[in-house]
Amino acid sequence: MRTIKLGTSALEVPVIAVGCMRINSLNKSEAETFVQTALEQGANFFEHADIYGGGTCEEIFADAVHMNDSVREKLILQSKCGIRKGMFDFSKEHILSSVDGILQRLRTDYLDVLLLHRPDTLVEPEEVAEAFDLLQSSGKVRHFGVSNQNPMQIQLLQKHVKQPLVANQLQLSITNTTMMDSGFNVNMENEAAVNRDGSILDFCRLHDITIQPWSPFQYGFFEGVFLDNEKFPELNAQIDKVAATYGVSNTTIAIAWLLRHPANMQPVIGTMNLQRLIDCCKASDIRLTREEWYAIYRAAGNILP
């Protein structure tokens, strides 16, 4: 598995992150097989959140991997906090208590990465800074980042937080390319020219923040997958054509399309299917040509100016 540096840190991570939001859909034996298969593929970066399964997903993962000190040394663990029922909460108290719960459920003394999960408009950056300092000095969290934040929100946090924010988890797939579209349509009056996220793609590249695309196979907001979907005949035909060229599946090409971008992204895959997991990992070894990348982008219905 090819690796990249996570943001400005020295942490080497695989280019594929294994999302564990749906691991509670597996029984004990299936969960064990799933985690072991990921590790065999070199995908040892596992991504969690305290709200996944109400915390049960972290517990199931710890059981499935047979967590102990020896096992922990082979893993890179990321989790997120900040979402509560009916609200978002970046208060110092909530961040600290959330991390303690995460560590207990994962049966570990530390997280490699903690992300703040969606923006909290009531955030007091000074409190976040205090929480991060305590978590870092205690050894509970080694690196920090955010999820679904725009440049101004990141800059507001970074004004007070001394730790570099190394990752930003954002929705991105072949059919969800808003952060790319406005960059193509500069000085245009069409719908694609609307800058909806403050040029977050360029901002993250400028500041060496690793983008972690979530839902890389989804269209819309959890409306379904675009692969083998009759709603996207032209797109699937083009993906299948490229897949045949490389002798891989359409799943592999969908991830390779994201990895081709020079921003050095780290897609978060959420599949619990073993073959799709393996197919996702194969994308690490494929570099699409510029022609293939643009052909897939256009096939998704995007028009270049």
32 and 40 Cβ atoms separated by less than 8 Å: no
3 state DSSP class of 115: strand
Q: Which residues contact 233 (CB under 8 A, 6 or more apart)?
A: none
Contacts 24+ apart (CB under 8 A), 146-152: 146/115, 146/116, 146/119, 147/80, 147/115, 147/116, 147/117, 147/118, 148/117, 148/118, 148/119, 149/116, 149/119, 149/200, 150/119, 150/197, 150/198, 150/200, 151/198, 151/199, 151/200, 151/203, 152/198
Kindly report, residue by residue over 187-237, the tens digit of the pLDDT: 999 999 999 999 999 999 999 999 999 999 999 887 899 999 999 999 999
Per-residue model confidence (pLDDT) at position 24:
98
Report yes or no: 141 and 128 within 8 Å, Cβ to Cβ.
no
Mean pLDDT over residues 23-47, rounded? 98
Q: Where are the domains of the chain?
A: 3-299
What is the pLDDT at residue 220? 87
Beta strands in the chain (DSSP E): 3-5, 12-14, 17-19, 45-47, 76-81, 83-84, 87-88, 111-117, 141-147, 165-171, 210-214, 268-269
pLDDT for position 150: 98
* 303-to-118, 177, 296 alpha-carbon distances in Å: 30, 12, 11
Contacts of 116 (CB under 8 A, 6+ apart): 80, 81, 82, 90, 95, 128, 144, 145, 146, 147, 149, 157
Closest CA to 171 of 216, 109, 203: 216
Model confidence, pTM = 0.96
* The CATH fold of domain 3-299: TIM Barrel (3.20.20)
Confidence class for position 172, pLDDT limits 50, 70, 90: very high
- Residue reference for tokens 């208060």: 91
Residue 304 CA neighbour count, 13 Å, CB half = 7
The burial of 69, by beta-carbon neighbours within 10 Å (0-12 exposed, 13-18 middle, 19 or more buried), is given as exposed
- Look-up of token digits 């590790």: 39
CB neighbours of residue 232 within 10 Å: 20
Annotated active-site residue 52? The verdict is yes
pLDDT digits (tens, 9 = 90+) for 258-301: 999 999 999 999 999 999 999 999 999 999 999 999 999 999 99
63 CB contacts (<8 Å, ≥6 apart)?
28, 31
Q: 35 vs 168, 221, 222, CA distance in Å?
A: 24, 27, 24
- Mean pLDDT score of the chain: 97
Paired residues of 173 in beta bridges? 176
pLDDT at 216: 97
**Res 221: pLDDT:** 83
At 278 the pLDDT is 98
SS3 state of residue 70: helix
User: Which of 52, 110, 246, 297 is flagged as catalytic?
Assistant: 52
